[in-house]
Amino acid sequence: MSVSAELLRAFVGVGLHLSFSKAAKANGVSQSAISQSIKQLEKDLGIPLFERTTKSVAFTKAGRELFETSVEAFSILDNGIVKLQERLSREYKSLHLAATDTLSKHFLLPTFKSWQEKKLDISLRVTNRPSRECVEMIESGEAQIAVVHAYDDLFDNNHLEVIDLQSMQDIFVGGTAYQDESKLWTIDDIMAEPLLLLTTGASSRTFFDAVTYNRCTSPAFELGSLDVLIDLVEINLGISLVPELVARDKLKQGSLVELKTNLQIPERRIVLVRSRMDALTEGVSQFINILKDRKQ
């Protein structure tokens, strides 16, 4: 069966937005034209691709399968075109990465070193922002890839490819004044202490609020830097919930102590995010390969 690529492009547009009007606007055509394209594709295939109501659009099971296949196929085609352009024009000489400052320092440093050792003719530019802002940079086209802490609605965005990199465990820590290996901290014990937290909106703050059921309304300190927060915990100004990978060195040195609690603290994930509709340039491919090599 031969299916028009133009119809499939229209279908992918609707699938990305789950909206006929938004797909029409993105493609610079009328909503009627998009609607007719989807009806024609469904007629050609003999299967419904979307479940439509007056307020929403959702994939059918077959529609979801076709969407995944179509995005992959167009990505391969677009990648081939971009790589050809790269070889001919050599204009893609840089890679723009968005990442949190915490992950840049405590997770990505070995990757940056490997990148440098490869001596690629591609410059690497890194912008540090909170996780959600990093993802917004991908959506706006300001950055090509982002390395962030995963958050719930990140996986609901059909525009984005999310690649799992590593798990991350958070722990409660305090300075040496909190050294008591026999104590099992309850949430009431934690709430009774000065709490040092990142500002509202940071993924680590949102995670803390979820773990502690939003019980902290007045932290002792609200900070924009996790490194500064750790420094203040180290001099016994309070306690905090931080990624173990951030506190690891100071735990080994003995200037921080882990507080054992009866709270259930789930793992978080470190992920790489890129636009599904952007081609894999040489720089993006090389960076992803370095990260994958680290996992092996």
Give 176-224 pLDDT, tens digit per residue. 999 988 899 999 999 999 999 999 988 899 999 999 999 999 999 999 9
The tokens describing 39, both together, are 């009806």
Element (H, E) at 258: strand 257-259
pTM, rounded to two decimals: 0.72
The tokens describing 2, both together, are 């031969």
For residues 209 and 100, what is the distance between their CA atoms, to the nearest angstrom? 19
Contacts with 74 (C-beta within 8 Å, 6 or more apart), sequence order: 8, 9, 12, 277
Tens-digit pLDDT profile for residues 33-74: 999 999 999 999 999 999 998 888 999 999 999 999 999 888
Tens-digit pLDDT profile for residues 241-266: 999 999 999 999 999 999 999 999 99
**pLDDT value of residue 296:** 62
% of the chain beyond a pLDDT of 90: 73
**pLDDT value of residue 81:** 79
Closest CA to 212 of 186, 243, 237: 186
CB 286 within 8 A of CB 120: yes
Mean pLDDT of 162-169: 95
The neighbour count for residue 4, using CB atoms within 10 Å, is 13
Mean pLDDT of 2-27: 89
**pLDDT value of residue 88:** 47
Closest CA to 234 of 217, 219, 249: 249
Sign of CA dihedral 218, 224, 230, 236: negative
